[in-house]
Amino acid sequence: MIEKKSLAPIGLLTLLNCLIINFSVNLLNYKLPDSSSYLNFSPKYKSLYPFLINCVDYLNLNLIYIQILLLSFSIVYLCYSVYRKNNFYISFILYLSIIVNFFYTSFSKTILTESLFFSLVNIGISLFILNEKKNNNFIYCIILGLIFSIKSIGFVIVFCFILLNFLRKDELNYLKCFSIIIIFIAIENFIFYKKNEIRKNVLGEVILGKTFFLSGKPSFKIEDYPDNYKPLLQKSKQYFSEIQNNLSDIKNFPARVELQSDFEVVAQFQFYDDLSLDQKKVYIDMSNKKLTVLYYLLKNNFADYFNLSLNHFFGQWVAGFKQEYMVNNYLPKFEKLLLSSGGIDIKNFSTIKIGSYLLISLFIFFQIIFFISLIKFSFHKKNSYFYFATFSQIYLLVVSFVNISTVRYLMPVYPIIILSCLIFLDEIVKKKNVFSARH
């Protein structure tokens, strides 16, 4: 936890960080397309964040200021834990890497779960760093419970935390930890069903979106699917064939990956609007039997699905390439594509290119670090960057195979990725210093 003598500096740094984030560049609108779902307790999303919004409104507080404060504290606490465990230089560079990422900090200024989610992950990692070998404290378990209950993908993050505790052989009280997580699940369910009669999710749209999007490929054979699905699949094949052909002609791979993800969103949420009444009935039937649809997709088009997921894995690290391509080239279903291309409104392409290529460079460097750490771990040579690299890699792989790609999904683990890179570089520098001292 925090030493008493460190409370005042951490408090002052948190307030300073609040000012920095508040006056930093904001790349997102106050309300985004998903915001209304959280304001209205949508049955498709967890209920803790809408409940927080209601509490903040009841207390007549400013939600954005609360989010900025929590994110600021989590960043300062993370850097404090790194300073305690490693050194000042890693802590300081980590802080700069986070605070200059305006996309990351901008989520604290919009109505989405991301900012709170980022904050909880940062605090969880901080406790993991500080409480080595004795991760049985009550607060750590509460943080895991909140992460699990605030966002659907939270279960992957919690799994990663517990896996790292297991690999590091921490003295974690698993029974207490799981009990606290279950309590938070029960609380979230209680709040949810006070506002909704049934719980929904976007899994149906995700599975059908992948199926319809991939149906436009030549390798997708409609005859391999059930007869009652064929009329709708014929429509989707006709709809997405032109899109798939156009995507295959794009030479700029990062731009193609970004656009591929956006067109998959079109398949998830906009394709339905162009269907006839009979086709919509088939769509609803397929949505109700989404696991059956997934079975046929994996059985008949696993290679296409796997390739799409790998593109998404790379696509988590890609931003800023599609905008310039969209200005200079024809794209089918352009109006629908614009509705699915959420994120940053980029006008200065030359400026954003620097950040885009830096992000891809980080991707390459991080993959190298991960494989080095994996090889070392296989030879029982543990190092701290292995845990952080593994944590991030598992999360990104799961997201890539179950959803689409967007740099937004990279952001929860962005500080952890930077941290793993910095620790790796620090170890290299130390080894060079040792080598130099011997000669």
pLDDT in tens, 208-242: 999 999 999 999 999 999 999 999 999 999 999 99
Provide the number of structural domains found in the chain. 2
Are 126 and 38 in a shared domain? yes
Same domain, 155 and 232: no
Instruction: List, in order, residues 6 or more apart from 387 with CB less than 8 Å away.
Output: 128, 164, 167, 168
- Per-residue confidence (pLDDT) for residue 33, from 0 to 100: 77
> CA 298 to CA 313: how far, in whole Å?
18
Residues 98 and 64 in one domain: yes
210, 296 contact by CB (below 8 A): no
- Reported as a pLDDT band with limits 50, 70 and 90, residue 436 is very low
Give yes or no: residues 140 and 58 share one domain.
yes
Residues 233 and 97 in one domain: no
Judge whether residue 325 has pLDDT over 70. Answer: yes
Say if residue 285 is in the same domain as residue 151.
Answer: no
Closest CA to 77 of 418, 388, 415, 366: 415
pLDDT at 432: 67
80 and 171 assigned to the same domain: yes
Cα(170)–Cα(132) distance, rounded to whole angstroms?
7
How many percent of the chain have pLDDT more than 90?
A: 72
pLDDT at 433: 60
**Domain residue limits at 28:** 1-200
Mean predicted confidence (pLDDT) in 151-164: 95
Shared domain check, 221 and 156: no
Do 172 and 277 have their domain in common? no
The SS3 of residue 421 is helix
379 and 346 within one domain: yes
Q: Are 191 and 48 in contact (CB under 8 A)?
A: yes
How far apart CA 111 and CA 28 sit, in angstroms, is 10
Is 330 in the same domain as 364? Answer: yes
pLDDT at 439 over 50: no
Instruction: Using the CB atoms, write b or e for 187-201: b if 16+ within 10 Å.
Output: bbeebbeeeeeeeee
Q: Pick from 161, 184, 200: which residue ends a domain?
A: 200
Domain edge (last residue) among 146, 177, 200: 200
Among residues 423, 396, 391, the alpha carbon closest in space to that of 411 is found at: 396
Backbone φ, ψ for residue 356 (5° rounding): -65, -45
Mean local confidence (pLDDT), 12-40: 91
Least confident piece of the model among 115-119, 182-186, 426-430:
426-430
- Tally Cβ neighbours within 10 Å of residue 272: 17
pLDDT at position 438, please?
Answer: 43
> Per-residue pLDDT averaged across 189-216, rounded?
92
Band of residue 324 on the pLDDT scale cut at 50, 70, 90: confident
Tokens in use for 263?
């067109």
Rounded to 5°, angle at Cα 34 from 28 and 35: 70
Q: Are 140 and 176 in contact (CB under 8 A)?
A: no
Q: Which of 181, 200, 219 is the last residue of a domain?
A: 200
Phi first, then psi: give them for residue 333, nearest 5 degrees: 50, 45
CB-count exposure of residue 173 (10 Å: 0-12, 13-18, 19+): middle
Q: What is the Cα–Cα distance from 57 to 36, expressed in whole angstroms? A: 15
Count of CB atoms situated within 10 Å of the CB of 310: 14
Local confidence band at 350 (pLDDT 50, 70, 90 cut-offs): low
| 375-393 pLDDT per residue, tens | 988 887 777 889 999 999 9
Task: Verify that 363 and 219 share a domain, yes or no.
Answer: yes
> What's the pLDDT band for 356 if we cut at 50, 70, 90?
confident
**Structural contact between residues 259 and 325, judged by C-beta atoms closer than 8 angstroms:** yes
Whether pLDDT at 351 is above 70? no
